[in-house]
Amino acid sequence: MKLTGFSLVCCFVPLFSSVAPPVSGRPLHTGSPVRVSAVLGKDVLLPCHLTTPVDAPRVVAVEWSRVDGPSPLTVHVVRDGEELVKEKAPEYLRRTAIMEDGSLKLLGVQQRDSGTYRCVLLRGPPVEDQVLVSLIVVQVSEVNMFVRRTAANELFVHCESSGWSPKPAVSLLDSGRSVLAAQVESSVRPDGLFSVWALVSVAAAKGNGTLICRVEIPETSLASEDTVSVIDEFDSPQAGLGRDFTLVIAIVLICVFAAVSAAALVRRIVKQRALTDTPLLGGNQTYTEYGDISLVETKGASEDTARANSLASRETEASCELAERDLDNMLKYKDIIKSVADKLSIPPGLIAAIISRQSQAGTKLTASGFGENDQNCFGLMQINKHYHAVKGNPFSEEHLDQGVTFLVQLIKTMKRTKPDWNKEQQLKGALACYIAGEDRVIPLTYEEVDSVTPNADFANDVVARAKWFASNGF
């Protein structure tokens, strides 16, 4: 993710012994307030600069107030070099500072800070200058892009982002930053934040190359972007290849037939060995690109999870018992789990563990495919419809592909935001993000990642179940 177009360049000046001469003089008297945008949680500078010189000794006070409510709120007042703290509204205590030109620095912007502010510079009675500033607090989020191929061999680029306020605009651009004609959707989450999606076919995007997804707050310079490189290795062959092309096709068909026969043999062997510790044929796939699941630390299920499932056992023993309960049903999805695992380099046992924890291998879904306990969550991996445009049927490979792709994106987020963690720690952090969200997990230490998950054990429980599934045919 790249945040563009937003910076704060200012100095922190808590107080000054006398109101210093503004760097420029008379106020910006306009018909509407000066518009300022700020990112949630960041600091922002509300300007109160003047445009013509003012005699410094005549400036005796600076008063900032919030004026969009039923009555003004005092934000920051300085008279004769001292701040009048007793007059200050409680929500602004220890969050403001006056700059040398009278501008206000507001620290750690909150959503409730959106509104209209008035700056008054008193230059000795009865002269005063006023500036109105409209502050809009926005929430930006990461943008994720990925490429999908349909059964009809059509290639599509998909972009999604969730957690914006106010409603953002989304667009797909080519490498020259020309806007492409894309399908665009948006929705409002239960917490009032917005999610957006965009979809375009590679054919409509004029073939291979780099595509850009840009999500931005209208009328501001606040935006997030992501890029993806599209390489279509399945372009139709050029005409005129003649006998050579026919020969190539024949060889390919022979190889495909041999591969299908070998795959059938592998499936038979897999079914015979599903309940043993014997590695599967082709088991040289190590799935360690994003960390070795066997090395991830785990405490297993919490006491709350064990009790909720009527278990006398605790911790890793409880997780293993819960995984074993789901094995018979999990075998129904073994082929598609392995397919997605191979494609996205995520251990099959980890995918099975998430399915086990989320939907008890599909046994806790309604007829519509949504969770019995949460009608907003869909499929084996329980993908929330308010945060993602759900895909496929609840038991399909397409659904698993979406859920595991989301997990991979979270692992990459942890890699970027927690570079001092090792791969296994980043993987465990991503599992916590899967259920609790990045915003809640990223500020935590490694030891705290499960503190915000259901029953405070989601990542630990899933890791323990993953190790069990990996030793039992997955």
Residue 79's CATH number: 2.60.40.10
Does 67 share its domain with 201? no
Report for 21-25, 80-84, 106-110, 435-439: range of highest mean pLDDT:
106-110
Residues 426 and 402 in one domain: yes
Determine what percent of the chain is predicted with pLDDT higher than 90.
43
User: Do residues 465 and 403 share a domain?
Assistant: yes
CA angle 446, 110, 72 (to 5 degrees): 160
Per-residue pLDDT, averaged over 47-73, amounts to 74
Total domains in the chain come to: 4
Question: In this structure, is residue 198 part of a structural domain?
Answer: yes
Domain co-membership, 208 together with 94: no
Task: Tell me the mean pLDDT in the region 261-280.
Answer: 44
Task: Evaluate the CA torsion angle 261, 262, 264, 265 in order and state its sign.
Answer: positive
pLDDT tens for 185-199 read 888 877 788 888 898
Do 104 and 148 lie in one domain? The reply is no
Report which of 14, 117, 134, 1 is spatially closest to residue 66, judged by C-alpha positions. Answer: 117
Please determine, for residue 208, whether its predicted confidence score (pLDDT) is greater than 80. Answer: no
* Domain contains 311: yes
**Is the confidence at residue 286, as pLDDT, over 80?**
no
- Answer yes or no: is pLDDT of 162 > 60: yes
The model's confidence at residue 328, banded by pLDDT at 50, 70 and 90, is very high
110, 171: one domain? no
According to the model, what pLDDT value does residue 193 have?
85
Residue 275 has pLDDT above 60, yes or no: no
Task: Write the secondary structure of the chain as one string of H (helix), E (strand) and C (coil).
Answer: CEEECCCCCCCCCCCCCCCCCCCCCCCCCCCCCEEEEEECCCCEEECCCCCCCCCHHHCCEEEEEECCCCCCEEEEEEECCEECHHHCCHHHCCCEEECCCCCEEECCCCHHHCEEEEEEEECCCCCEEEEEEEEEEEECCCCEEEEEECCCCCEEEEEEEEEEECCCEEEEECCCCCECCCEEEEEECCCCCEEEEEEEECCCCCCCEEEEEEEECCCCCCEEEEEEEECCCCCCCCCCCHHHHHHHHHHHHHHHHHHHHHHHHHHHHHHHHCCCCCCCCCCCCCCCCCCCHHHCCCCCECHHHHHHCCCCCCHHHHHHHHHHHHHHHHHHHHHHHHHHHHHHCCCHHHHHHHHHHHHCCCCCECCCCEECCCCCEECCCCEECCCCCCCCCCCCHHHHHHHHHHHHHHHHHHHHHCCCCCHHHHHHHHHHHHHHCHHHHCCCCHHHHHHHCHHHCHHHHHHHHHHHHHCCCC
Which CATH number is 405's domain given? 1.10.530.10
Q: What was the pLDDT predicted at 58?
A: 57
269 and 323 inside one domain: no
130 occurs within a structural domain: yes
Which of 316, 272, 334 lies closest to 465 in space, CA to CA? 316
258 has a pLDDT exceeding 70: no
147 vs 315, which has greater pLDDT? 315
pLDDT in the model for residue 284: 43
Question: Which of 88, 106, 138 is the endpoint of a domain?
Answer: 138
Flag whether pLDDT at 1 surpasses 60: no
The answer to whether 8 touches 44, Cβ cutoff 8 Å, is yes
For residue 206, is pLDDT > 80?
A: no
Residues 146-171 have a mean pLDDT of: 83
Asked whether residue 63 is domain-assigned, the answer is yes
Does the predicted model carry a pTM greater than 0.85? no
Whether 82 and 190 map to the same domain: the answer is no
Task: Output the pLDDT for position 121.
Answer: 84
On the question of pLDDT at 343 being above 80, the answer is: yes
- The residues facing 209 across adjacent strands are 230
Same-domain status, 299 and 427: yes
Is 11 a domain residue? yes
Same domain? 15 vs 39: yes
In angstroms, the Cα distances linking 14 to 61, 66, 85, 358, 381 are 15, 20, 13, 50, 51
Are 459 and 440 a contacting pair, CB within 8 Å? no
Residue 132, CB-side half-sphere exposure with 13 Å CA sphere: 11
| Strand ranges across the sheet with 61-66 | 34-39, 128-138, 115-122, 61-66, 73-79, 82-83
Angle of helix 315-330 relative to helix 348-359, nearest 10 degrees, comes to: 90
Place of tokens 């018992």: 321
Domain assignment present for residue 235? The answer is no
Q: What is the C-alpha to C-alpha distance for residues 20 and 192, in angstroms, rounded to an integer?
A: 43
Same domain, yes or no, for 329 and 263? Answer: no
The answer on pLDDT for 404 being more than 90 is yes
Range of 224's domain? 144-230
Tens digits of residue pLDDT in 362-403: 999 998 899 998 888 999 999 988 777 778 899 999 999 999
Kindly state whether residue 238 falls inside one of the protein's structural domains.
no
Residues 265 and 221 in one domain: no
Q: Is residue 236 part of a domain?
A: no
